[in-house]
Amino acid sequence: MDSYFLRLALYQIAFLRGDQETMQRQLGWASGQPGEDWLLSAQSDTEAYFGRLEKARGFSQRAVESARRFDAKESAALWQANAALREAELGNASFARQGAMAALALLPGRDVLAP
């Protein structure tokens, strides 16, 4: 019954509770496994939430690389698009444009093309 979706839910609950230890434990569990990209993307969102944009960018890139490593091309494109949206929300047009183009190059699927 253990899966990365369960671990992602545990991570999200820990985030809401401010429980860094549990968040890190879930990331550690996922390390090197299929689905690791989901938790890396969540960590990227966490870093951005706390204003640590460079760390957020790094975790986004790791999420993309992890998804690609496990041949999850649509997920890789989605994480790249998510990072581009974040950059756009923060007013970083150049980073947003580069990220959007990278996402489209990975896989111009339905979720990447969504407005």
Q: For the chain, what are the domain ranges?
A: 4-113
The string of pLDDT tens digits covering residues 21-66 is 999 999 999 999 999 999 999 999 999 999 999 999 999 999 999 9
Q: Which two tokens stand for residue 24?
A: 């890190």
HSE value, Cβ hemisphere, 13 Å, CA-based, for 115: 0
Percentage, residues of the chain above pLDDT 70? 98
Sequence-distant (6+) residues with CB within 8 A of 37 are: 63, 64, 66, 67, 70, 72, 75, 76, 79
> Has domain 4-113 been given CATH number 1.25.40.10?
yes
pLDDT score recorded for residue 115: 53
Q: Does the structure show a pLDDT above 80 at 113?
A: no
What is the pTM for the complete model shown?
0.92
pLDDT score recorded for residue 112: 76
